[in-house]
Structure 1
Amino acid sequence: MKTSNDGVELIKGFEGLRLSAYDDGVGVWTIGFGTIKYPNGVRVKRGEKCTKVQAEQYLRNDLITFENAVNQLVKAPLNQNQFDALVSFTYNLGETNLRSSTLLKKLNAKDYKGAAAEFLKWNKAGGKVMSGLVKRRETEMELFLK
């Protein structure tokens, strides 16, 4: 499966567009729509800049990685909304967190409601509950349940 345009817009909305590299709050340098590594594999560094067109390219490149992760790790059938919610989750938290999550275990057991409830547990950065993550997880959960 591939992320729909609505799914891409969801990710863009939560990530926001930043044309100058910034610390994501937990020490990870980020640019564009949440990119931490350029398409060539080099990590983003302080002081770097990009254009909106480059940010879009970085996002599209990043999506391939996270779509592949969801497609490979999820064994249960998904609708487009569920896939988009999972790609947004994985875009934000990474493949390793999806792989080790109770969300994935419940989903692969076809416990869709149980899996949906797991989204809300992923609301912290650096050990602190973040209001932006609370909102993102609520939105992802709602989309997953559609």
Structure 2
Amino acid sequence: MQVSQKGVALIKQFEGLRLSAYQDAVGVWTIGYGHTGADVRAGRTIDQAKAGQLLAADLARFEQGVTRLVAVDVSQDQFDALVCFSYNLGLGNLQSSTLLRLLNTGDYAGAAAQFPRWNRAGGQVLAGLTRRRLAEQSLFQSKGGA
């Protein structure tokens, strides 16, 4: 499965676009649409085209990861919500989450209820993360059906 334009728009909305490297809420060097990695360091700048390329490469990695981890059928909207969640938190957090455990047992409602629990960075509740998790939860619960 691939993330839809709706899912890409959600990621872009919450990640924002920054063409100069910056440290996120927990000190991770970030650039573009939330891209992180060894290639991001202080002083790095990119253009909008490069930001789009980084996003496409990152999305492919997260799409593959979500596909590998999810053992039940999901709708396009549910897939998009899971990719957005993982894009922000990492595949490791999805893999070890109660959200994924519940989802993989077929408890879609229980899985959906887990999204708001992931609203902290560095131990602090962040309003932006609360909004993002509620948006992901809403998308996951939308009537795209599984």
Q: TM-score range by the shorter chain?
A: over 0.9
Percent of paired sites with the same residue? 55
**Aligned match of 2:115:** 119
Separation (CA, whole Å) in 2 of partners of 1:27 and 1:18:
15
Q: Would you say 1:131 and 2:127 are equivalent positions?
A: yes
Separation (CA, whole Å) in 2 of partners of 1:44 and 1:6:
27
Displacement of 1:43 in angstroms is 3.1
Displacement of 1:27 in angstroms is 1.1
**Aligned match of 2:100:** 104
**Aligned match of 1:144:** 140
**Aligned match of 2:51:** 55
Letter of the 2:27 partner, please give it.
G
5+ residue gaps in structure 1?
none
Separation (CA, whole Å) in 1 of partners of 2:62 and 2:100:
14
* SS of 1:44 mapped into structure 2: coil
4+ long deviations beyond 2 Å: none
User: TM-score w.r.t. structure 1 length?
Assistant: 0.96
Within a 5 Å distance, the mapping from 1:38-49 to structure 2 comes to 42-49=38-45
Within a 5 Å distance, the mapping from 1:8-23 to structure 2 comes to 8-23=8-23
User: TM-score w.r.t. structure 2 length?
Assistant: 0.96
5+ residue gaps in structure 2?
none
